Copies of this chain bind each other. A is one copy, B any other.
Amino acid sequence: MSENLVPVELVRIVIRETSDQQYIFLKEKNGDRAFPIVIGYFEAAAIDRRVRGVDTPRPMTHDLLGRTIEALGSRVLSVVISRLHENTFYARLNLEKDDSSVELDCRPSDAIALAVQCDAALFVSEDVIDAVTGMQ
Residues of A near any B CB (own CB < 8 A)? 42-43, 57-62, 64-65, 67-69, 71-74, 88, 90, 93, 95, 97, 102, 104-107, 110
Contact = CB atoms under 8 A, between A and B. Distances in A.
Nearest to A91: B58
A74 B95 CA distance: 14
Copies of this chain in its oligomeric complex? 2
A73 B98 CA distance: 10
B72 A65 contact: no
8 A-B pairs closest in CB distance: A42-B42, A72-B72, A71-B102, A58-B107, A64-B106, A65-B65, A61-B61, A64-B110
Contact of A59 (B97, B102, B105): B105
Given A61-B61, A88-B58, A72 B102 contact: yes
A106 B59 CA distance: 6
A73 B72 CA distance: 9
Residue picked from A71, A72, A88, A90, most chain B C-beta under 10 Å: A72
A67 B97 contact: no
Contact of A104 (B58, B61, B68): B68
